[in-house]
Amino acid sequence: MAIIEVENLTKEYRLGAMQGIKQTLLNTATRLAGKKVEERPLFKALDDVSFSVAQGEVVGIIGHNGAGKSTLLKILAKISTPTRGSVKVNGRIAPLIEVGAGFVPEFTGRENVYLNGAILGMSRQEIDQKFDEIVDFAEMAEFIDTPVKRYSSGMQVKLAFAVATSIESEILIVDEVLAVGDIAFQRKCLGRMESFMKNEGRTVLIVGHNIRQLERICTRMILLKHGRIECDGEPGKASKQFLDETTLKPEHVIENKGILPHFDSGDIEVLSVEIITDEYKEGTPVIALFADMHIRIRVRAHQVFNEVEMNFGLHNPEMVFISKSSTSLLGQSTSFVDGENVIDILVKKIALCAGTYGIGFAMYDWSRRPLWGGNGIVWFTVEAPSDYISRLPPSTQSYMPALWAINQRQSEAITYAPALPATQSSGFTS
């Protein structure tokens, strides 16, 4: 049975500034005189959205900024009313839309728990019962009688989250709250959400930008784009479509505007960073999934450096490092001559999900004094044929270049792209 039923939901906003009382009166007069008034243009935040959610489903709603995610949640939480269409909700809703709404800074944590609980629709008796549990979950026993204005923002959110999730509601609406608190608390929150879903069968609607996290906890995902449902289905499918759009969109690919270091001692100059490939798409080098990648970095040292340490890593557009490598494990010293030096790096069998990645590179001298370092100094795209992706399990950032042996018959499963010619590979140390 559907617990939430959304039909042809449309929400329009008028663009432009609110009219003053004078303009309104003038417009009314013009209208009364039978003339047409110049209407401000409409903006469709949601455009004919229909879906239904069954009890126990955990639905992630993703999309770019302005895609209509928050508007949708606000309408479901009855904060805003739709322009057209209908929303039917069978059950109590606990909205966690920016938790901590209504926290009064002057009040102590205890007072705020009662206030916030009442605002969220809990009775005093209910809060009394849950009070210890709330404080315990938020790890705030020590500070509960301190005014909230002395709390750090993380502490406030912890307390707010604890209050909001203690409501016994059939439906939970969550808007990007999991992006707060430290890692330990985030994990705790996720744990709590998961127990809601699995043990208590509660229905959860969650909006967020952390796609990987959502992928993990959702049973279904809705991708919104310009107020319309673009994809509605398995988490992996919707998130992949979203990530593909994000990462492969030409304007999103970060232009190679020269090499901008994070730190630069001035002792070494990076002349060029190059990914050696024949294939380019919109100016970005393309590497096929499971192909080898060859990077050549040319630097000019202004003196001789013995025992240089170099680190090299790959990160995604959200600046999360996926993989790293360092010369410190080479077991032999690396040194630069005074003048130009060429560094060749070969990464065998790139096993990253299709998408855009940046290269980070850093150099240190023998005392680990930073010489030069930068992220996103060059970007490339990993591409894979679509039938490949559909056959590979979703929800990870990388694949394992594993070798399989079934009944002792060893075979190399991943033979998609031929390796670089042996001559080119020689001279690399790993």
Partner 1 sequence: MLTIAKNLYDYRELMATLAWKNITLRYKQAYLGIAWAILKPITLMLIFTLVKSFVGIESGDIPYPILVFAALMPWTFFQESTSEGVTSVVGNTALIKKIYFPREIFPITSVLTKLVELGINFVILAGLMVWYQMMPSIYILWVPLIIAYTILAALTIAFVGAAINVYYRDVGAALPVLLSLLMYASPVIYPLQLVKDKLLVQQAAGEWSDALYTLYTLNPLAGIIDAFQNVVLRGIPPDLNAMIPGAIMIAILLPLSYLYFKRAESYFADVI
Out of 119, 190, 389, 417, point to the residue binding partner 1 (CB under 8 A). Answer: 119
Kindly tell me which of 157 and 289 has the beta carbon lying closer to partner 1.
Answer: 157
The interface with partner 1 within residues 122-161 (CB under 8 A) comprises: 123-124
Rama region for 282: left / alpha / beta (φ>0; ψ in -120 to 50; rest): left
Nearest alpha-carbon partner for 303 in 343, 339, 270, 271:
339
**Residue 189 in contact with residue 161, Cβ under 8 Å?**
yes
With contacts defined by CB under 8 A, name the span among 98-106, 276-284, 295-303, 372-380 that binds partner 1: 98-106
- Residue 202 main-chain phi, psi, to 5 deg: -80, 155
**Least distance in Å: CB of 259 to partner 1?**
44
Kindly tell me which of 78 and 281 has the beta carbon lying closer to partner 1.
Answer: 78
Per-residue x/- mask for partner 1, residues 3 to 22, rule CB under 8 A?
----------x----x-xx-
**Least distance in Å: CB of 144 to partner 1?**
17
Out of 58, 62, 89, 120, point to the residue binding partner 1 (CB under 8 A). Answer: 120
| Nearest-angstrom CA–CA distance, 357 and 359 | 7
Kindly tell me which of 123 and 328 has the beta carbon lying closer to partner 1.
Answer: 123
| Nearest-angstrom CA–CA distance, 211 and 396 | 11
Apex CA 278: angle with CA 274 and CA 279, to 5°?
100
Apex CA 200: angle with CA 195 and CA 204, to 5°?
75
**Least distance in Å: CB of 106 to partner 1?**
5
With contacts defined by CB under 8 A, name the span among 34-42, 103-111, 222-230, 379-387 that binds partner 1: 103-111
Contacts of residue 410, defined as CB under 8 A and 6 or more positions apart, other chains included, come to: 403, 404
The interface with partner 1 within residues 38-97 (CB under 8 A) comprises: 74, 77-81, 95, 97
Kindly tell me which of 108 and 203 has the beta carbon lying closer to partner 1.
Answer: 108
Site for partner 1 contains 118 (CB under 8 A): yes
Kindly tell me which of 74 and 158 has the beta carbon lying closer to partner 1.
Answer: 74
Out of 26, 104, 276, 337, point to the residue binding partner 1 (CB under 8 A). Answer: 104
Rama region for 347: left / alpha / beta (φ>0; ψ in -120 to 50; rest): beta
Kindly tell me which of 51 and 107 has the beta carbon lying closer to partner 1.
Answer: 107
Site for partner 1 contains 98 (CB under 8 A): yes
The interface with partner 1 within residues 401-430 (CB under 8 A) comprises: none
Contacts of residue 138, defined as CB under 8 A and 6 or more positions apart, other chains included, come to: 155, 158, 159, 161, 162
Q: Can you tell me whether residue 97 is helix, strand or coil?
A: strand
Q: For the residues of 228-240, what is the DSSP string, one character each?
A: EEEEEE-HHHHHH
DSSP 183: H
- Judged by CB under 8 A, how many residues of this single chain contact partner 1? 28
Rama region for 69: left / alpha / beta (φ>0; ψ in -120 to 50; rest): alpha
Out of 48, 111, 194, 232, point to the residue binding partner 1 (CB under 8 A). Answer: 111
Binding site for partner 1 (CB under 8 A): 13, 18, 20-21, 24, 74, 77-81, 95, 97-98, 101-102, 104, 106-107, 111, 114-115, 118-121, 123-124
